[in-house]
Structure 1
Amino acid sequence: MKDTINWKIKPFKELSIQELYSMLQLRSEVFVVEQNCIYQDIDGKDEKALHLLGEIDQKLVAYARIFKPNDYFEKASIGRVIVKQSSRELKLGHELMQNAIEAIEKHFNETKITISAQLYLQKFYESHGFLKTSDVYLEDDIEHIEMKRE
């Protein structure tokens, strides 16, 4: 039987201490440790974002942060897209992205989205309607591309 995921979306000020801790722990676990990348994850942008949290049995397994236009890019944006390594076999990434896109439409009445995507995930994002709009560039020593969804 497939584990049931509970999705919630919250502005920064409504996150519980436990949700904030779990979010930062998961981001560090994947973006710093797993990807072996030393970078400043706590970048001062969390306060502006909506936080999309996916929990199974009250444990955070998927996460993304969502920005209205001009808070990160000129268009609305999605970032810090992440699925816990031990939960990746559940294929939650597509559900996470669909929820993030829907949240932008619902909360910001926007359909145009810009992301900074890790290059190896290009096909994943293309499957959600994003198109490559830049050359490859390094962000924290990881190859990225800008992608847009019109």
Structure 2
Amino acid sequence: MKIAIKSFDELSRDELYAILKLRSEVFVVEQQCVYQDIDGKDQMALHVIGKDAGKIIAYSRVFAPGEYFEIASIGRVVVSIAQRNQKYGYEIVKASINAIQNHFHTSDICISAQCYLEKFYADLGFQATGNKYLEDGIPHMTMLYKK
């Protein structure tokens, strides 16, 4: 998988369409969650894109401190269903951490993680904090990464 990091303005029309399609396939259809994915925040995010054979198969968006949470953050982490056995989730999160460190010069990162992914994120260095809560009807928890 090849990783690219782009601002919203650097995304091609086809890339944006493929990103929104992938997010919809997983978050809306697979997880059966009706929510407002197009939330007006993509324009301020950096987009971490994983491609294989020219097709977007993994994705996340990252934010500078103060743009989403008080500290830098990662969101919309997604890997296509057909590619999940390749460990691309780990690669896209590691690339997201590196993007935050390189672009925003911080290692303090906050995520709103789906609870069933706690071990996945813990394996990448995130620690659960606070209480669990429902976000769009799905159990979530706040997790922090500090290097």
TM-score (norm 2): 0.98
Residue 33 (str. 1) matches residue 24 (str. 2): no
**Equivalent-residue separation in structure 2 for 1:133 and 1:93 (angstroms):** 22
**Equivalent-residue separation in structure 2 for 1:137 and 1:104 (angstroms):** 26
Q: Any idea what SS the aligned residue of 1:134 has? A: strand
Work out the number of aligned pairs and report it: 146
Gaps of 5+ in 2: none
**Equivalent-residue separation in structure 2 for 1:8 and 1:149 (angstroms):** 22
Q: Any idea what SS the aligned residue of 1:100 has? A: helix
**Equivalent-residue separation in structure 2 for 1:134 and 1:35 (angstroms):** 24
Gaps of 5+ in 1: none
Partner of 2:132: 136
Q: Which runs of 4+ in 1 moved over 4 A?
A: none
Q: 2:7 aligns with which of 6, 11, 26?
A: 11
**Equivalent-residue separation in structure 2 for 1:36 and 1:74 (angstroms):** 30
Shift of 1:81: 0.3
**Equivalent-residue separation in structure 1 for 2:24 and 2:94 (angstroms):** 23
Residue 104 (str. 1) matches residue 84 (str. 2): no
The one-letter code of the counterpart of 2:10 is: E
**Equivalent-residue separation in structure 2 for 1:134 and 1:145 (angstroms):** 7
Residue 126 (str. 1) matches residue 122 (str. 2): yes
**Equivalent-residue separation in structure 2 for 1:118 and 1:134 (angstroms):** 14
**Equivalent-residue separation in structure 1 for 2:37 and 2:130 (angstroms):** 23
**Equivalent-residue separation in structure 2 for 1:140 and 1:94 (angstroms):** 24
Q: Any idea what the Cα deviations from partners look like across 1:31-72, whole Å, max 9, x if unmatched?
A: 000000000000000000000000001101000000000000
For 1:56-75, list aligned pairs within 5 A: 56-75=52-71
Q: Any idea what the Cα deviations from partners look like across 1:120-140, whole Å, max 9, x if unmatched?
A: 000110111111112110000
Shift of 1:145: 0.1
TM-score (norm 1): 0.96
Q: Any idea what the Cα deviations from partners look like across 1:11-34, whole Å, max 9, x if unmatched?
A: 001100000000000000000000
% identical aligned pairs: 53
Shift of 1:89: 1.2
